[in-house]
Amino acid sequence: MLTELQRLSIEADGRYATPEELEFLKSYLETFRYRISAYQKLQKYEPIILQKIQNKLIKTNPQIFMKGSIDFTSKWRLDTIRVLRYSAMVLLINDPDYLQERLLTWFATILQAFKVQDITEFTYQAMSDVLEDYLTPEEKNVFFPLIELNIAILCKKRTS
């Protein structure tokens, strides 16, 4: 939304925007109530959602958060909360570019350095599964593309 408004302000400088140029605003306004309700649910249920994701991952692999003798559970929780909260904020403003530029590109580099893309992919797949129980179909329609963006950016593996 912010990126699109900025682009519109440049393109329509000195003139009124065309109906086509305003279409993104119409689309945004039509989904705004779902964005707010999904945001509020994420905020309210965050601790429960996180615990369910963690339980799901541990059920898949009891040692998933262990690297040698070091337990990375608390680091995983902080990172997952950070991305979830950024995603929720971006849900409100409808600007995936902001999410990618402000967090995901930087965070992907760190995840690649530590070679934890697999855990990250499991995390966001589990998040999708867990959120099925919390979000309505309309809310999922506006939020799940952000989870897919998280997976696409954070879980890609460099081939170099």
Distance CA 55, CA 103 (A): 26
Place of tokens 């950016």: 153
Question: From first to last of its 160 residues, what are the pLDDT tens digits of the chain?
Answer: 778 888 888 888 899 999 998 998 999 999 999 999 999 999 999 999 999 999 999 999 999 999 889 999 999 999 999 999 999 999 999 999 999 999 999 999 999 998 888 899 999 999 999 999 999 999 999 999 999 999 999 988 654 4
Whether 17 maps to a domain, the answer reads: no
Q: Is residue 19 part of a domain?
A: no
Residue 13 lies in a domain: no
The pTM for the full model equals 0.88
CA distances from 93 to 66, 84, 101, 150 (A): 36, 15, 14, 16
Which CATH number covers residue 98? Answer: 1.10.490.20
Contact 54, 73 (CB under 8 A): yes
Expressed as residue numbers, the domain containing 100 is 32-154
> What does the block give as tokens for 7?
């682009």
Among residues 91, 83, 85, the alpha carbon closest in space to that of 31 is found at 91
Of 40, 45, 53, 44, the C-alpha closest to 79 is 53
In a domain? residue 159: no
Structural domains counted in the chain: 1
